[in-house]
Chain A
């Protein structure tokens, strides 16, 4: 008998721990960001951006907004089960955030089951165009757009135009997609690439010395990287230590993470690339006022350098909030319908979700990291804006 009691007691205990808590007044939004792992800093910035949007918006449909933040650990399986928790247990009406194309695609695969709109603020893979009626890309540029921006930037800079590029990416869907997009466009526009079948480094790589040797051996004098944001400054630091940056210049398919850029110090100078936002936009006519206001408030709220990850997460969240208001309900299909075609005028100008492919079109910036002038955010290195691309220039054309 005792054994039965033990078994029964353990099962009851397990179930008791799992009894749901009920409450349903605020509008709940599930926020999926990486808070541990390689991109913890970026995840924190994403969460800040979304939090700031919720504080700015205050209410939805006359109800308070409640953000429920879960850590994806940048692992697809973890993200999917956290999404299940956010939807089934917490009753979130939408999911937002998500770093990494691998995680994004895994979640998209399960979205019909979850049946809520999923607004990714950070996924860059071109596979997201028209992927699923419930899946949206809002915020970050997609790989094809970044490639256009970068190749144009290279062609417009004489010192970059004449260089031969070694392509090095993180070994997962985003990296592969970014490399293919860049290489195809570079080929079409006459930019030289030394390794058309591109080099892939595992995401966990910390020691870049071998990759640096490979770049040296290839004879390239330019490097095109698609590495996760937080890693870029670390890669730069090691490339500098090995004297690689004396001969090479670096073009990046993603913006470097703000915290890590500061940590790398002067080693992080010279990262060239297209991105959606840089706080330097506050010095750029046409964007000045909105960017300045956003930067100042962000810095005041989070005591952190205003950065691209936070800005596009903010914009993504604002798109979602506006759509929920427009839908006038928390019905998933209605929200999804409202997101298509929604537009929002934020820190980097007017953005627009193309109804034909569920992905955002927005203005973008071409930047290079340099030593920062005196600024209110305490940054010593910053992304200096070289040029602004209007949304049309980066494409792809929006078909309804």
Chain B
């Protein structure tokens, strides 16, 4: 939180949530804008695009929990999105096609169940070894999704997903095959995840995580069980990624091993850095910029990779804190509040 917002008057509710008033008002305004978007924007292509941005925003935010708050780098966080997507899809195809909620729960729980032993192993190392381990495990999951043809459909991907109704307390709201319905559903889940994560991060637990990021040794000296808290951060991040995966397959009606690839994983990392890590909301802006840029550039020019690569290089060189770092930059230039 910047100084400015801390100086602003806060009501109790905002204090409870752990953010500034301005921040929550912005969030509310954004949610309202996003919620009315499908009704004022007739072009469904953009609705699909914004939907994808929301899903990848959620994934990027989950990576931010790991990277920005716990200080752990995951090369292939998208592997956990993939796990969530495959688990949700397989559950709906083979076991129970009717309930979207149960399927999502299964996707998230399965992802966390896989992430637990992986995390248990990973937190025993740190820094670069941790990052390289995420690559090793990510590639492992990718290879299984890619080569276990009978289960996952291999390169063809998982097809034939049923489209259950979206229900709430037994009340049928809409079919998940409807793109507006799935869009609003994504938005709702996203909001829940965001508020939940924000709350966790701005609780004592979040403070512990940040302490670990800042200085692992010092944290352990004051009696913090570093490994346990790292594991908690990891599980939170993977659970959120699994949820993003569940929505992904519901939104796309399909998933393939491609979403779990190593280079897509680096793309998610890029979203976090583009938006600014350690902010939770930055990654959403990063995801929006990344996806819109990629979409626009790839329809303008065949050589979109050159531009996107150049943008990344320039950002790292000149704006390492991402979009979230812009205000600070601005402040410094104008004589500085910080």
B6 to chain A minimum Cβ distance, whole angstroms, is 12
B285 contact from A10, A20, A75, A113, Cβ within 8 A: A10
Q: Enumerate chain B residues within 8 angstroms of A3, measured Cβ to Cβ.
A: 2, 5, 22-23, 26, 327
Q: Enumerate chain A residues within 8 angstroms of B25, measured Cβ to Cβ.
A: 4
Q: Enumerate chain A residues within 8 angstroms of B46, measured Cβ to Cβ.
A: 18, 20, 88-89
CA of A88 to CA of B292, assembled, Å: 16
Q: Enumerate chain B residues within 8 angstroms of A6, measured Cβ to Cβ.
A: 323-324, 326-327
> Residues on B close to A: CB < 8 A?
2, 4-5, 22-23, 25-26, 30, 33, 43-46, 48-49, 52-53, 146-147, 149, 154-157, 159-160, 177, 179, 252-256, 258-259, 281, 285, 288-289, 292-293, 295-296, 298-299, 302, 323-324, 326-327, 330-331
Asked whether, in the complex, the Cβ of B288 is within 8 Å of the Cβ of A14, the reply is: yes
State whether the Cβ of A1 lies closer than 8 Å to any Cβ in chain B: yes
Question: Among A84, A106, A172, which residue has the most Cβ atoms of chain B within 10 A?
Answer: A106
Q: Enumerate chain A residues within 8 angstroms of B327, measured Cβ to Cβ.
A: 2-3, 6
CA of A87 to CA of B33, assembled, Å: 25
Among all A-B residue pairs, the 9 with the closest Cβ atoms: A88-B45, A89-B45, A102-B156, A172-B155, A88-B44, A14-B288, A173-B156, A2-B327, A10-B285
B163 to chain A minimum Cβ distance, whole angstroms, is 10
Asked whether, in the complex, the Cβ of A113 is within 8 Å of the Cβ of B177, the reply is: yes
Q: Enumerate chain B residues within 8 angstroms of A202, measured Cβ to Cβ.
A: 146-147, 155
Q: Enumerate chain B residues within 8 angstroms of A17, measured Cβ to Cβ.
A: 292-293, 296
Asked whether, in the complex, the Cβ of A76 is within 8 Å of the Cβ of B330, the reply is: no
State whether the Cβ of A101 lies closer than 8 Å to any Cβ in chain B: yes
CA of A110 to CA of B157, assembled, Å: 14
Q: Which residue of B lies closest to A20 (CB)?
A: B43
CA of A17 to CA of B49, assembled, Å: 12
B22 contact from A4, A11, A70, Cβ within 8 A: A4
Asked whether, in the complex, the Cβ of A35 is within 8 Å of the Cβ of B302, the reply is: yes
Name 11 extra pairs, CB < 8 A, besides A1-B4, A77-B259. Answer: A2-B330, A7-B281, A20-B46, A76-B258, A77-B254, A87-B45, A89-B46, A113-B253, A202-B146, A202-B147, A203-B155
State whether the Cβ of A300 lies closer than 8 Å to any Cβ in chain B: no
A210 to chain B minimum Cβ distance, whole angstroms, is 15
Q: Enumerate chain A residues within 8 angstroms of B159, measured Cβ to Cβ.
A: 105-106, 109
CA of A3 to CA of B43, assembled, Å: 30
Asked whether, in the complex, the Cβ of B289 is within 8 Å of the Cβ of A75, the reply is: no
B23 to chain A minimum Cβ distance, whole angstroms, is 7
Q: Which residues of chain A from 34 to 81 have any CB-CB distance to chain B below 8 Å in the complex?
A: 35, 70-71, 75-78, 80-81
A101 contact from B156, B254, B296, Cβ within 8 A: B156
Q: Enumerate chain B residues within 8 angstroms of A110, measured Cβ to Cβ.
A: 253-254
State whether the Cβ of A171 lies closer than 8 Å to any Cβ in chain B: yes
State whether the Cβ of A162 lies closer than 8 Å to any Cβ in chain B: no
Asked whether, in the complex, the Cβ of A171 is within 8 Å of the Cβ of B155, the reply is: yes
A24 to chain B minimum Cβ distance, whole angstroms, is 13
A-B residue pairs in contact (CB < 8 Å), sample of 12: A2-B4, A3-B327, A6-B323, A6-B324, A7-B281, A7-B285, A10-B288, A18-B49, A71-B302, A77-B258, A102-B156, A173-B156
Asked whether, in the complex, the Cβ of B155 is within 8 Å of the Cβ of A102, the reply is: yes
> Residues on A close to B: CB < 8 A?
1-4, 6-8, 10-11, 14, 17-18, 20, 35, 70-71, 75-78, 80-81, 84-85, 87-89, 101-102, 105-106, 109-110, 113, 171-173, 176, 200, 202-203
CA of A171 to CA of B157, assembled, Å: 12
CA of A200 to CA of B148, assembled, Å: 12
Q: Which residue of B lies closest to A12 (CB)?
A: B33
Asked whether, in the complex, the Cβ of A84 is within 8 Å of the Cβ of B48, the reply is: yes
B160 contact from A11, A101, A109, A176, Cβ within 8 A: A109
Beyond A4-B22, A110-B253, whether A10 also contacts B149 by CB under 8 A is no
Q: Which residue of A lies closest to B327 (CB)?
A: A2
Asked whether, in the complex, the Cβ of A76 is within 8 Å of the Cβ of B254, the reply is: yes
B289 contact from A10, A77, A88, Cβ within 8 A: A10
CA of A85 to CA of B47, assembled, Å: 11
Q: Enumerate chain A residues within 8 angstroms of B292, measured Cβ to Cβ.
A: 14, 17-18
Q: Enumerate chain B residues within 8 angstroms of A4, measured Cβ to Cβ.
A: 22, 25-26
Q: Enumerate chain A residues within 8 angstroms of B323, measured Cβ to Cβ.
A: 6, 10
Q: Enumerate chain A residues within 8 angstroms of B293, measured Cβ to Cβ.
A: 17
Beyond A6-B327, A88-B45, whether A105 also contacts B156 by CB under 8 A is yes
Q: Which residue of B lies closest to A88 (CB)?
A: B45
Q: Enumerate chain A residues within 8 angstroms of B156, measured Cβ to Cβ.
A: 76, 101-102, 105-106, 172-173
CA of A202 to CA of B146, assembled, Å: 9
B254 contact from A14, A89, A106, Cβ within 8 A: A106
CA of A394 to CA of B65, assembled, Å: 59
Asked whether, in the complex, the Cβ of B254 is within 8 Å of the Cβ of A109, the reply is: yes
Asked whether, in the complex, the Cβ of B154 is within 8 Å of the Cβ of A88, the reply is: no
Asked whether, in the complex, the Cβ of B256 is within 8 Å of the Cβ of A77, the reply is: yes
CA of A3 to CA of B3, assembled, Å: 12
CA of A19 to CA of B273, assembled, Å: 26
Q: Enumerate chain B residues within 8 angstroms of A78, measured Cβ to Cβ.
A: 258
Q: Which residue of A lies closest to B8 (CB)?
A: A1
Beyond A4-B22, A7-B30, whether A85 also contacts B155 by CB under 8 A is no
B325 to chain A minimum Cβ distance, whole angstroms, is 10
Asked whether, in the complex, the Cβ of A75 is within 8 Å of the Cβ of B49, the reply is: no
CA of A113 to CA of B48, assembled, Å: 12
